């Protein structure tokens, strides 16, 4: 009886979820110097080099380094020739995210179903093969110049994708305990948030999880609005931000000005032990936003009991928030390139499924201090 019920429920779910996702497959950055970026992620963030494509593997126009930590896979790509699309992307946006790749069982169907619902095609389903098997990839456009690539790899056993060879670095990196991508946030232009939320709902079958308006997220100067969309199983979550009217320039506007359009603002990566992860990251040179001591004076009243020692969290400047289901610990890096664009969030969830709303004010005041230093407030 119960099995029958589950069967029908599953069938119904499969019928309604036209874009089943297994999670994030990889995140590809277009950068000015992939060799150096790859070493930055190995040395500072504890990733390990696992694959490479470039002249040595028969790719003449680019070099790509694939670094991995548990389930998180980043690809750093640079052009080897002038005038390429990679160069144009870097020229306009600086170093930034080009591809948010999604792991699927059927990349052809993912492409067809999303195109049917209004997606703009970037890459028709294409079979790639080498001695380790075959992969099917397809791509559609999302906000700005960012792309979603569907990756079907059930018949593949290689290091990354055909065209790449397994690689190892001379540099011995050690993991800092990062586990998986928790969410990836997009910044879009003023008035564009609802359009992109609708895109994820209509074209990709995502559901709206949470809405933050400018009353939730405003400081004396800066304001923004945000909506979080999630796929059916919750493995893929995309908050979308747009600037809101404040006394001075919103941090989202600063991003849009320097990125010259919409793009990925931050990638949140999950850890099971944020104290260990953040102390390692700090030791290795990763810079974080600073929240003043006063934040910790009344934080315990707000969040109640937590398992960690507050002094330890304070020492590392880690933020705390609670929702109905539990609490979370989080911290935000400074931008990881010279333009004030992409940054990372490190998050440890202890039951909480939210995004740290209780920390927004303290956090945004901290961002504004940095904005002021850059002369952009
Ligand atoms: Fe976040």
Residue 237 token pair: 């979550």
Same domain, 48 and 111: yes
**Structural domain total, the chain:** 2
Same domain, 212 and 350: yes
**347, 271 contact by CB (below 8 A):** yes
Cα-Cα-Cα-Cα torsion 184, 190, 192, 194, nearest 10 degrees, comes to 80
Distance in Å, CA 28 to ligand 1 centroid = 19
What's the pLDDT score for residue 4? Answer: 63
Same domain, 120 and 27: yes
What's the pLDDT score for residue 6? Answer: 56
Distance in Å, CA 328 to ligand 1 centroid = 12
Same domain, 153 and 222: no
Distance in Å, CA 310 to ligand 1 centroid = 22
Task: State the angle between helix axes of 251-259 and 360-373 in degrees (0 to 180), rounded to the nearest 10.
Answer: 50
**Count of other CB atoms within 10 angstroms of residue 173:** 19
Distance in Å, CA 72 to ligand 1 centroid = 16
Q: Tell me whether residue 32 is in a domain.
A: yes
Q: Which one of 103, 133, 166 terminates a domain?
A: 166
In the Cβ-directed half-sphere of 189, how many Cα atoms lie within 13 Å? Answer: 9
Same domain, 264 and 225: yes
Rounded Cα distance, 165 and 76, in Å: 15
Distance in Å, CA 266 to ligand 1 centroid = 7
Q: Tell me whether residue 172 is in a domain.
A: no
Distance in Å, CA 347 to ligand 1 centroid = 8
Rounded Cα distance, 183 and 193, in Å: 17
Residue 314 token pair: 């304070």
Distance in Å, CA 206 to ligand 1 centroid = 18
Distance in Å, CA 95 to ligand 1 centroid = 20
Q: Show contacts of 84-90: CB within 8 Å, 24+ apart.
A: 86/30, 86/62, 89/30, 89/145, 90/30, 90/31, 90/32
208 three-state secondary structure: strand
Same domain, 151 and 106: yes
Distance in Å, CA 13 to ligand 1 centroid = 28
Distance in Å, CA 357 to ligand 1 centroid = 10
Q: Which one of 143, 166, 189 terminates a domain?
A: 166
Q: Tell me whether residue 173 is in a domain.
A: no
**262, 256 contact by CB (below 8 A):** yes
CATH number at 362 reads 3.10.180.10
What's the pLDDT score for residue 15? Answer: 57
3-state helix, strand, coil in the chain (%, to 5): 30, 35, 35
Same domain, 154 and 273: no
Handedness of CA 138, 152, 45, 181 (dihedral sign): positive
Same domain, 161 and 280: no
What's the pLDDT score for residue 361? Answer: 80
Distance in Å, CA 314 to ligand 1 centroid = 20
Rounded Cα distance, 107 and 152, in Å: 5
Same domain, 260 and 366: yes
Q: Tell me whether residue 171 is in a domain.
A: no
Q: Tell me whether residue 105 is in a domain.
A: yes
Rounded Cα distance, 340 and 251, in Å: 9
Per-residue burial over 271-284, b = 16 or more CB atoms within 10 Å of its CB, e = otherwise = beebbebbbbbbeb
Same domain, 89 and 214: no
Same domain, 118 and 243: no
Summarised one tens digit per residue, pLDDT across range 116-164 is 999 999 999 999 999 999 999 999 999 999 999 999 999 999 999 999 9
Q: The domain containing residue 192 runs over which residues?
A: 178-374
Q: Which one of 106, 137, 166 terminates a domain?
A: 166
Rounded Cα distance, 224 and 245, in Å: 8
What's the pLDDT score for residue 79? Answer: 98
Summarised one tens digit per residue, pLDDT across range 32-90 is 999 999 999 999 999 999 999 999 999 999 999 999 999 999 999 999 999 999 999 99
Distance in Å, CA 183 to ligand 1 centroid = 7
Distance in Å, CA 96 to ligand 1 centroid = 17
Distance in Å, CA 260 to ligand 1 centroid = 21
**26, 66 contact by CB (below 8 A):** yes
Same domain, 225 and 303: yes
Rounded to 5°, angle at Cα 268 from 53 and 30: 30
Distance in Å, CA 226 to ligand 1 centroid = 11
* Sites in the chain below the pLDDT cut of 70: 1-15, 217-222
């Amino acid at each position: 009886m119960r099995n029958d019920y589950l069967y029908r429920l599953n069938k119904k779910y499969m019928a309604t979820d036209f874009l089943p996702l297994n999670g994030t497959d990889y995140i590809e950055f277009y950068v000015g110097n992939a060799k150096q970026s790859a070493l930055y992620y190995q040395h500072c963030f504890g990733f390990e080099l696992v694959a490479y494509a470039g002249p040595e593997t028969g790719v003449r126009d680019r070099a790509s380094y694939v670094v991995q930590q548990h389930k998180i896979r980043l690809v750093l790509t640079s052009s080897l020739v002038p005038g390429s699309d990679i160069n144009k992307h870097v020229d306009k946006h600086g170093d930034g995210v080009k591809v948010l790749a999604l792991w699927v069982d059927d990349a052809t169907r993912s492409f067809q179903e999303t195109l049917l619902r209004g997606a703009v095609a970037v890459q028709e389903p294409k079979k790639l093969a080498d001695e380790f098997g075959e992969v099917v990839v397809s791509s559609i456009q999302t906000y700005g110049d960012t792309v979603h690539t569907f990756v079907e790899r059930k018949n593949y056993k290689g290091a990354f994708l055909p065209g790449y060879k397994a690689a190892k670095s001379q540099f011995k990196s050690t993991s800092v305990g990062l586990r998986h991508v928790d969410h990836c946030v997009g910044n879009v232009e003023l008035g564009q948030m609802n359009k992109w939320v609708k895109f994820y709902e209509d074209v990709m079958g995502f559901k709206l999880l949470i809405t933050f308006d400018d009353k939730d997220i405003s400081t004396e100067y800066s304001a923004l609005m945000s909506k979080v969309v999630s796929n059916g199983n919750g493995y893929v979550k995309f908050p979308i931000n747009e600037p809101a009217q404040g006394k001075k320039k919103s941090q989202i506007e600063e991003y849009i000005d320097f990125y010259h359009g919409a793009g990925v603002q931050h990638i949140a990566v999950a850890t099971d032990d944020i104290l260990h992860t953040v102390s390692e990251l700090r030791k290795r040179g990763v810079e974080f936003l600073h929240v003043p001591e006063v934040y910790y004076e009344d934080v315990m009243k707000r969040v109640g009991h937590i398992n960690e020692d507050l002094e330890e969290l304070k020492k590392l400047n880690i933020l705390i928030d609670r929702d109905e289901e539990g609490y979370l610990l989080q911290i935000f890096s400074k931008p990881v390139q010279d333009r004030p664009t992409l940054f990372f969030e490190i998050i440890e969830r202890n039951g909480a499924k939210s995004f740290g709303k209780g920390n927004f004010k303290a956090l945004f005041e901290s961002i504004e201090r940095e904005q002021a230093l850059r002369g952009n407030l």
